[in-house]
Amino acid sequence: MSLFKRITATLTTRVGNLVNELENHDAVVESGIAEMRRAYAKAKVRFTRMSAEGERLRRKLEEQRREATAWRERTLACTDEDKSLECLRRSRLARRQITSLEGMLERHKELEGRLFREIEAVRAHIGELEHKRHQMRSREATADAAWSIQRMDAGRSLDLDDIFERWEMRVTEAELTTDTLPVRDPLEAELVAEEERASLAAELAELERERESRHED
C-alpha cells in the first residue's frame, strides 16, 4: 500500500471515530489536517534521507568508474606480466562493482521517484482539505449570521427600528438646543472688527513715529 493510501486510510478511520463522538466538525477536521501534516513531514524526512543515499551511490559509482579506468591504464602501462594481471583483475573487479552500483542506483531512482510523487499527492491533498475547511468555515459563519438575524426578527428581541427612532429623537433634541443659543449680531461683529483695526492702525502709526525719531537722533 502506498504512503498516500496508508495515510488516508488511517485518517479516515480516526476521523470517522471522532465524528461519531463529537459535534465540533471544525475541530475534527483541524485535528485530521494536523495529523496529515505530521505524516507529510515524516515522509519529507524519509525522502531527504533517501536523496542523500542516492547521492552517495552516485558518488560511489563515479569513483568505481575512475578506478576501472585507472587500473586498465595501469594494465597497459605495466611491462611485468604478474603486475599486469593484477591490475587487470582489479579493473575487472571495479567493473563488476560498477554493474552492481548501476543496478542499485536504478532501483533507488524508481523508489525515490515513487516516494516523491506520493509526497506531492499528500501535499496536494492537504491543500485541498485546507481549502474545503476554509469554505466550510465561511459557509458556517454565513449560516450562523443568517440564523441569528432570523431569530432576532422572529423573536423581536431587539427592535432596531425603535432604537433608530430613539437615536433620532436624541439628536433632534440636541439640534433644537443648539438652535436656541443666542446668535451674535452681524452689525455688532462688523463694528467690533473695525474698532480693532483702527486701534491696530493707531498703534502702528505710533511705532512709525518712534522709529523716525530714532533716525533723526
* Whole-prediction pTM: 0.52
Q: Are residues 153 and 166 in the same domain?
A: no
pLDDT at 103: 95
Q: Are residues 119 and 145 in the same domain?
A: yes
Burial class of residue 195 (count of CB atoms within 10 Å of its CB; 0-12, 13-18, 19+): exposed
Q: Are residues 75 and 147 in the same domain?
A: yes
pLDDT at 26: 80
pLDDT at 55: 94
Predicted confidence (pLDDT) per residue in 6-52, tens digit: 555 555 555 555 445 446 778 888 888 888 899 889 989 999 999 99
Q: Are residues 148 and 171 in the same domain?
A: no
Cα–Cα dist 53/55, whole Å: 5
pLDDT at 211: 73
Q: Are residues 186 and 92 in the same domain?
A: no
Cα–Cα dist 86/71, whole Å: 9
Q: Are residues 140 and 106 in the same domain?
A: yes
Q: Are residues 149 and 212 in the same domain?
A: no
Confidence of residue 61 (pLDDT cuts 50, 70, 90): very high
The parent domain of residue 188 ranges over 161-216
Question: In the predicted model, is pLDDT for residue 97 greater than 70?
Answer: yes
Cα–Cα dist 83/91, whole Å: 12
CATH number at residue 71: 1.10.287
pLDDT at 106: 94
Q: Are residues 98 and 16 in the same domain?
A: yes
Query: Which residues are CB-contacts of 112 (< 8 A; sequence separation ≥ 6)?
Result: 47, 50, 51, 54
Per-position b or e across 52-80, b if 16+ CB within 10 A of its CB: eebeebeeebeebbebbeebbebbeeeee
Find cell 451674535 and name the residue. 184
The percent of residues in the chain predicted with pLDDT above 70, rounded, is: 79
